[in-house]
Amino acid sequence: MTEPEIYDVLNLVFRQVLENDTIALAPGMTAEDVEGWDSMNHIFIVVELEKRFGVKFQAAEMEEMQNVGELAVLVRQKLARKG
């Protein structure tokens, strides 16, 4: 899966969970940059991403993440390991 494809899915999930079709994620964005991205919605986003990508995130991985770019890298790494 290419980086643009990963961002397409990320945008789709964020738009769906946060009910905001105008979300356009960029690598440097954080929860502070996205209206509605709070701790509760973060859980819903993670669960939906796990379903969409067929991967599992560890709690520690999610806590260490600083921005959307790091999320995309983590997804790419997990997909590569999945083969």
pLDDT digits (tens, 9 = 90+) for 18-54: 999 999 999 999 999 999 999 999 999 999 999 999 9
Per-residue confidence (pLDDT) for residue 81, from 0 to 100: 94
Query: How many structural domains are present in the chain?
Result: 1
57: left (phi over 0), alpha (psi -120 to 50) or beta: beta
Q: How many CA within 13 A on the CB side of residue 80?
A: 8
Per-residue confidence (pLDDT) for residue 23, from 0 to 100: 98
pTM: 0.93
CA angle in degrees (0–180, nearest 5) for 57-76-13: 65
In the predicted model, is pLDDT for residue 7 greater than 90? yes
Task: Please state, for a pLDDT cut of 90, what percent of the chain lies above it.
Answer: 93
Which residues constitute the domain of residue 46?
A: 3-82
Contacts of 56 (CB under 8 A, 6+ apart): 50, 78
